[in-house]
Amino acid sequence: MLTSLLITLREGLEAALIIGIILAYLARSDSRPAFRYVWTGTALAVLVSLIAGAAIYFLAGEFSGQAEEIFEGIAMFLAAGVLTWMIFWMRRQAINIKVHLHAQIHSVLTSGSSAGLVLLAFVVVVREGIETVLFLFAATRVSESPAAFTVGGFLGLFLAVGIGYSIYKGTSRLNLRTFFNVTSVVLIIFAAGLLAHGIHEFHEAGIIAPVIEHVWDINHILPEKSTFGRFLTAIAGYNGNPSLVEVVAYIVYLVAALGLYFRPTPAAE
């Protein structure tokens, strides 16, 4: 539940913030009639994201045996890569994103193109939507119960919309820098787990050799199938008996990603 909530909250809030910036600029520019174009682009993006999600889940159901393990392994690697890129992209863009968006909106309004606003909103939301679908698909492979996972996902979306609306109205006291730093750390840990799980799937498919099959085995102490074990698996990629390759990949990724994330940016030095 916490995994899906975190994913949809983070991705949903990013989309809500950007749409909020667009709407606020239009409101200040006395262009409220153009709101409908933003909502049209947003609705189209949500529809495309849902179709993409259905396609991915349908495609996954068509595989079995080694093909399924390879497909899931690739999905894990892809999700970990996109998640990492998203975290660092948001970190770089956070400072100037409002300025860039205002310049884009001004250009669209000047040209008088309603299609430009539809496209701008569509691109913003569909990017977050496709990322969310990919992350959720990967997370379902290591999640707790499907019901809790679904509830967490919807709760995260509702919170994201609520926070985004309150920020648009100027009533939110949420420290966005702290929020994104905390969620980024958790998502980096989650991405490390996806990477390790992808390697595990490739072990099962016989593509990557484990070198040492089980570096340790503590399933008798904390079983992966226990409630807490499933929680740790969903959040941090817990494996009670990991291979040497999984352990090395997990640690190297975690150290490198956290080190780069908290490295001072040129603007901050």
Which DSSP letter does residue 32 get? G
DSSP-derived secondary structure for 171-213: -----HHHHHHHHHHHHHHHHHHHHHHHHHHHHHHTSS--SSS
Could you identify the residue written with the tokens 């849902």?
A: 50
User: Tens digit of pLDDT for each residue in 18-62?
Assistant: 888 888 888 888 888 889 999 999 999 999 999 998 888 888 778
What mean pLDDT is predicted for residues 236-251?
94
**In the chain, where does DSSP find H-type helix?**
2-28, 35-61, 65-93, 97-111, 114-140, 146-168, 176-205, 227-236, 244-261
Instruction: Read off φ and ψ for residue 221, nearest 5 degrees.
Output: -95, -50
From residue 175, alpha-carbon distances to 11, 32, 160, 172, 180 in Å are 17, 28, 14, 9, 9
Token pair recorded at residue 93: 């863009």
Beta-carbon contacts of 77 under 8 Å, excluding residues fewer than 6 positions away, are: 194, 195, 198
| 110 residue type, one letter | T
Q: What is the mean pLDDT of the chain?
A: 85
User: Tens digit of pLDDT for each residue in 168-196?
Assistant: 777 666 677 788 888 889 889 989 999 99
Please check the confidence at residue 269 and state whether its pLDDT lies above 50.
Answer: no
Kindly state the helix (H) or strand (E) to which residue 10 belongs, with its residue range: helix 2-28
Computed from CA positions of residues 34, 20, 267, 253, in that sequence, does the dihedral angle turn out positive or negative? negative
State the greatest distance between any 2 C-alpha atoms of the chain, in Å, as a whole number.
Answer: 66
